[in-house]
Amino acid sequence: MNSIGELMADIKKKDIVLPEFQREFVWTLEQSKQLMVSLVRKYPTGSLLFWKTEKPPEIKNLAVDREKLGSKAVILDGQQRLTTLYLFTQNEIPPYYVERDIKHDPRHLYFNLETGEFLYFQPLLMANNPLWVEVINCFNPDNPINVFEIAKQGSPEGGNPLGLAQQYNDNLTKLKNILERGYPVQYVPPDASIDDAIDVFDRVNSLGTKLTDAELALTHITGKWPHARRVIKAKIKELEGTHFYFDLGFLVRCLVGIVKGRGLFETIHKTPASELKDGWAKLEKILSYLIAILPKHAFIDSTEDLNSTNTLFPLVVYLSRNGDRFPNEKSLKNAIRWLYAAHIWGRYTGQTDQRLDSDVSIVDKNSEPWKELIDAIIDQRGRIEVKPSDLEGRIIQHPLYRMLYILVKSNGATDWLNGIPLDTKQSGPYSIQSHHIFPTSRLRKEGGYDSRNNIHKQIMNEIANRAFLTADTNVKEISNRIPKDYFPEIEKRFPGALEKQLIPMDENLWEIDRYEDFLKKRRELIAEKINDFRNQLLQESEAPRPMTLDDFINTGERLTIEFKSSLRWDIRNEQVNKGLEKVIVKSVAGFMNSEGGTLLIGVMDDGQVYGIESDLKTLKKGTIDGFQQAVISLMSSYLGPEFTKYAHIDFEEKEGKSVCKITTERAPQPVFFKGSDGLKEFYIRAGNTTRLLDSRETHEYIQMHWEA
Give the amino acid at 688: N
CATH number, domain containing residue 576? 3.30.950.30
Contact call for residues 221 and 228 (beta carbons, < 8 A): yes
- Residues 481, 625 within the same domain: no
Do 667 and 593 meet the contact criterion of CB atoms below 8 Å apart?
Answer: yes
The mean pLDDT value of the chain amounts to 88
Q: Closest Cα to residue 340, out of 315, 321, 317?
A: 315
> 381, 405, 423 — which closes off a domain?
381
* Dist. CA 98–CA 79, nearest whole Å: 14
Residue 540 belongs to a domain: no
Assess whether 348 and 432 both reside in one domain: no
Residue 313 or 99, more confident: 313
In a domain, 221, yes or no: yes
570 located within any domain? yes
Residues 167 and 79 reside in one and the same domain: yes
Q: Would 506 be classed as within a structural domain?
A: yes
Tens of pLDDT, residues 74-102: 998 899 999 999 999 999 999 988 887 88
Are residues 478 and 579 both part of a single domain? no
Q: Is residue 541 part of a domain?
A: no
pLDDT, position 210: 53
Among candidates 156, 58, 168, which has minimal Cα distance to 113?
A: 168
Please check whether residue 194 lies inside any domain of the structure.
Answer: no
Which of the listed residues 183, 201, 229 is the one where a domain comes to its end?
Answer: 183
Whether 609 contacts 565, CB under 8 Å: no
Q: Residue 158 — very low, low, confident or very high, per pLDDT cuts 50/70/90? A: low
Cβ(608)–Cβ(566) under 8 Å?
no
Is residue 201 in a domain?
no
Mean pLDDT of 165-186: 94
CB within 8 Å of 30: residues ≥ 6 apart: none
Identify the pLDDT of residue 696. 86
Full domain range(s) for residue 569: 549-705
Reply yes or no on whether the pLDDT at 429 is more than 70: no
Residue 402, pLDDT above cutoff 90: yes
Q: In this predicted model, which residue has the larger pLDDT, 345 or 477?
A: 345
The pLDDT-based confidence of 135 (bands split at 50, 70, 90) is very high
Q: Does pLDDT of 175 surpass 90?
A: yes
Distance spanning both ends of the chain, measured CA to CA? 39
Instruction: Note whether 280 and 245 are same-domain residues.
Output: yes
Residue 336, pLDDT > 50, answer yes
Residue 177 has pLDDT above 90, yes or no: yes
Query: In this structure, is residue 195 part of a structural domain?
Result: no
pLDDT higher than 70, residue 476: no
Residue 522 near residue 502, CB atoms below 8 Å: yes
For residue 707, what are the contacts with CB-CB under 8 A and spacing of at least 6?
454, 455, 458
For 16-65, how does the pLDDT look when each residue is reduced to its tens digit (9 = 90+)? 998 876 777 889 999 999 999 999 999 999 899 999 888 787 777 765 65
Q: Left, alpha or beta for 548 (phi > 0: left; psi -120 to 50: alpha)?
A: beta
DSSP single-letter state for residue 708: -
Tell me phi and psi for residue 672, to 5 degrees.
Answer: -110, 140
- The answer to whether the CB of 391 falls within 8 A of the CB of 462 is yes
Contact (Cβ atoms closer than 8 angstroms) between residue 47 and residue 183: yes
Nearest-angstrom CA–CA distance, 478 and 473: 6
Averaged over 146-155, what is the pLDDT? 84
Cβ proximity of 527 and 535 under 8 Å: no
Greatest CA separation found in the chain? 102
Mean pLDDT on 102-115: 93
Q: Note whether 557 and 684 are same-domain residues.
A: yes
* Angle, CA 186 vertex, CA 183 and CA 187 arms, to 5°: 135
Helix H, strand E, coil C: the string for 79-96 is HHHHHHHHHHHHCCCCCC
Confidence of residue 477 (pLDDT cuts 50, 70, 90): low
pLDDT at 209: 44
User: Is the per-residue pLDDT at 540 higher than 50?
Assistant: no
Examine the domain organization and report whether 369 and 249 are in the same domain: yes
User: Quick one: 36 and 156 in the same domain?
Assistant: yes
In the prediction, which pLDDT does 501 show?
Answer: 95
341 in the same domain as 293? yes
- Residue 203 pLDDT level (bands cut at 50, 70, 90): low
**CB–CB of 147/138 below 8 Å?**
no
Nearest to 55 by CA among 17, 24, 83: 17
Enumerate helices (H) and strands (E) in the chain, giving the number of each: 28, 20
Choice between 71 and 85, residue whose per-residue pLDDT is larger: 85
Reported as a pLDDT band with limits 50, 70 and 90, residue 152 is confident
If asked whether residues 156 and 272 sit together in one domain, one would say: no
- In the chain, how many domains are there? 4
Judged against a pLDDT cut of 70, whether residue 544 lies above it is answered with no
Distances in whole angstroms, Cα of residue 379 to Cα of each of 558, 560, 561, 601: 8, 8, 9, 20
pLDDT score at 32? 95
Whether the predicted pLDDT of 428 surpasses 70: no
Stretch 282-306: mean pLDDT, rounded?
93
Which residues contact residue 458 at a Cβ distance below 8 angstroms, ignoring those fewer than 6 apart? 393, 395, 706, 707
The residue-averaged pLDDT of 353-366 equals: 91
Calpha distance 485→507 (Å, rounded): 11
My answer on whether 373 and 265 are in the same domain is: yes
The reply to whether 482 and 625 lie within a common domain is: no
